[in-house]
Amino acid sequence: MTDTPPVSVLDVVPVWSGSTATRALRDSVQLAVEVERLGYTRYWVAEHHNTPCLATATPPVLVGALLAATSTLRVGSGGVLLPNHPPLVVAEQFGTLAALYPGRVDLGVGRAPGTDAATARALRRAPDGADQFPTELAELIDHFGPAPRPRQITAVAAAESEVPVWILGSSPGSARLAGSLGLPYAFAHQINPTLTATALQLYRKSFRPSAHLADPHAILSAVVVVGENDEHAERLIAPYLLGQIGHRTVGRLDPFPNAAQAQQHSYTDAERAFVAERITSQIVGGPETVRERVQRLHAETGANELMALTILPELEDRVRSYALLADAVRASIAV
């Protein structure tokens, strides 16, 4: 029995000022190789469109590249925004991946728009797409595995595959839906930290055993940055947080500022307050601070897994952060 949950990786493929999406994508492939070596077992990638600071527009393509570069990682979407895609196409994509890499594919799905109204129109997303999510989710799940009766439409590779489908969300509504359907659930603490404990409690209360899952299983994703000490971790995360400030004030999702730009920035009182709140609500610090925060969050929420989102300009710093996180968790388990 341990008071620290297993940890895994969430990647949004960040793009930095002075760099490119091409480098970001290649860094993510290398990061997957490195975290597999460190003993991590799950790696998910997000979906964002028309977002110059994030190069995760096509999860199934990137998932395929990550699977090809690794040998033991479970790789998946965190997640596919289902209202942007026909369920048949998603089933065909992930069924194909599962046929090529059996036992290593996860399919996380959500209903968020992912970006603005203009991009939604460019994606041909229906105006009521979010409202149709439960129906489209049922259609997606029905494409996988053997059917009790002949299907009118068959996603050929998916019909031969068992791919775990996870519901992703950041609200009590998504938690209730996941529980009622007996599906595993992933909550975005990095988006709504004040609702995490409530949502996971509601998920467990709403849970009904299903053919997919006998007992509730929840992942909590959060921003995690581990430095050599607390001060070092706060310096490492500064470019990402400055980028978030810019996105909120300017209204454009430009590439994140690099480390030099973050060092030169003169913060207002309001900006300093924002940075302090983000550091406090997420998991940022040296190994001991991070270990304590992981344990506290686990005690408060009962999450089965922690999924760490580490957004840093340099690949070597991301790898080092994940290495320190793994060491901190192992030390906690050994106690």
Domain 7-334, CATH number (from 3.40.190.10, 3.10.105.10, 3.20.20.30, 3.40.50.300): 3.20.20.30
**Residues in a beta bridge with 226:** 285
Determine the Cα–Cα distance for residues 198 and 175; give it in Å rounded to an integer: 9
Burial of 270 (0-12, 13-18, 19+ CB in 10 A): exposed
Per-residue pLDDT at 114: 58
Beta strand ranges found along 135-234 (DSSP E): 165-169, 185-188, 218-226
Every domain of the chain and the residues it spans: 7-334
Determine the Cα–Cα distance for residues 81 and 316; give it in Å rounded to an integer: 30
Per-residue pLDDT at 332: 66
User: Taking CA 190 as the corner, what is the angle to CA 186 and CA 194, rounded to the nearest 5 degrees?
Assistant: 90
Nearest in space to 260 (alpha carbons), one of 50, 9, 16 = 16
Per-residue pLDDT at 252: 80
Determine how many CB atoms are found less than 10 A away from the CB of residue 29.
15
Element (H, E) at 180: helix 172-181
Determine the Cα–Cα distance for residues 200 and 10; give it in Å rounded to an integer: 19
Determine the Cα–Cα distance for residues 93 and 157; give it in Å rounded to an integer: 9
Scan for tokens 């070596």, then name that residue.
Answer: 37
Per-residue pLDDT at 151: 87
Per-residue confidence of the chain (335 residues) as pLDDT tens digits?
A: 356 789 999 999 999 999 999 999 999 999 999 999 999 999 999 999 999 999 999 999 999 999 999 999 999 999 999 999 999 999 999 999 999 999 999 999 999 865 677 888 888 777 766 688 999 999 999 999 988 788 899 999 999 998 999 999 999 999 999 999 999 999 999 999 999 999 999 999 999 999 999 999 999 999 999 999 999 999 999 999 999 999 988 878 999 999 999 999 999 999 999 999 999 999 999 999 999 999 999 999 999 999 999 999 999 999 999 999 999 998 766 54
Contact by Cβ (8 Å): 301, 220:
yes
